[in-house]
Amino acid sequence: MRVPVQRLLNAVLALIYPECCQICRQARATPSEGFVCSACRADSRFIEPPFCRRCGLPFSGQIDSDFECSNCLGMTWHFESARSAVYAKGVVLDVIHRYKYKQQLWFEPFLADLLISRACGSSVVAQPVTGGSFSMGVLSPGDWDWLLPIPLHPMKQREREFNQAERLARRLSVASGIPLKTNILKRIVATRTQTRLSREERAENVRKAFALNDKEDVAGKRLVLVDDVLTTGATTNACAHVLRRGGAASVCVWTVARGT
């Protein structure tokens, strides 16, 4: 009898890494949980309404209807909406950095579960999605044609050895039933890191960084961009601009975390 690949991988991981939380190093946590225990998972702050209907920025005041935040005023967004599952803080931010920059791929199930729980409207690690008149942008195969991960420049991908957006999007594709396309967008400029740049500098840094692959046709397609973190939205907006210029009917964005 064939052993499922994921079960075999989990068994191998369990031999290499004890089933111990890789955050607190005290409680039990399994490979399928991304080696993050329930107590450390509880540090994740899920984004709840109210939030900006366009960019998804959370707001702390009492608002019970759709609104656009002050950051969106005067902005030319090429995506219809951007949504994130959790705040990029605490355990989540630590895990993302260790996952991306230290190749600690065992955290992937944890990050994917956060994204899937909100993007697919299922309560994997979160409470049920609520929000009254606020649209969480839950993904349905009937509404969207393809999931597109934000691409890395080939030089950066060789250095990192993987694209975190693609790996997370692959798991989201399985959960949502929306096909994954990894060959639509390409990154043609090896841009500076966005970390220490201002909002305006970020936008300029990625303005001409992306292009469509020559043989790919997105005309009339409804597309979902997937990434790990959204901060100012400059990178996803640059990708959305390329897609809309190519004839895409609509573009939305889903990320695991939102920087504020």
Q: Does domain 43-258 have CATH number 3.30.70?
A: no
**What is the DSSP secondary structure assignment for residue 107, as one 8-state letter?**
G
**pLDDT tens per residue, the chain (260 residues)?**
344 666 666 666 666 667 899 999 999 999 999 999 999 999 999 999 899 999 999 988 777 677 888 888 878 999 999 999 999 999 999 999 999 999 999 999 999 999 999 999 854 333 334 444 567 779 999 999 999 999 999 999 999 999 999 999 999 999 999 999 999 999 998 876 777 777 777 877 788 889 999 877 899 999 999 999 999 999 999 999 999 999 999 999 999 999 97
pTM: 0.88
Omega prior to 31 cis, within 30 of 0: no
Taking residue 26's Cβ as centre, other Cβ atoms within 10 Å add up to: 11
Segments making up each domain of the chain, as ranges = 1-42, 43-258
Would you state the pLDDT for residue 174? 97
Would you state the pLDDT for residue 6? 60
Helix (H, G, I), strand (E, B) or coil at 44: coil
